[in-house]
Amino acid sequence: GGHGLATAYYLAKFNNNLRVAVLEKGWIGGGNTGRNTTGIRSNYFLTENAKFYDHSLKLWENLTQELNFNLMFSQRGMVSLCHSSSDGERLATRYNALRLNDIDGDTLTLDQLKIMLP
């Protein structure tokens, strides 16, 4: 899958003398990662996780050019809705963690959300 391909790619990229083989029962990238919509995000609560996934996201941003192969990577936003005051408190905590980790995020009012997603 995607993790195996990434491991093989970066092993080969950073170890010039290493020969890496990828064995796949179907076509390369034909598993869940390639067939389904894959979410690549960095909005994690713990600082260590946020930094790791934010770095991973940055690697994806240039991978199409680096491989000279269209990965159809397209960055989109994500919306989390609050249905109760406790949801709002949890989302505010998560938003503050994003800001502390220098990860982009915004809070929207209901009116702003209606304009953005009519």
pLDDT tens digits for range 7-35 = 999 999 999 889 999 888 887 777 777 66
What's the confidence (pLDDT) of residue 37?
A: 67
Q: Which of 81, 77, 91 is nearest to 42 (CA)?
A: 77
pLDDT tens digits for range 39-79 = 777 767 788 888 888 888 889 999 999 999 988 888 888 88
Give Cα 115 to chain centroid, integer Å: 25
Tokens encoding 61: 């941003």
Tokens encoding 8: 């093989």
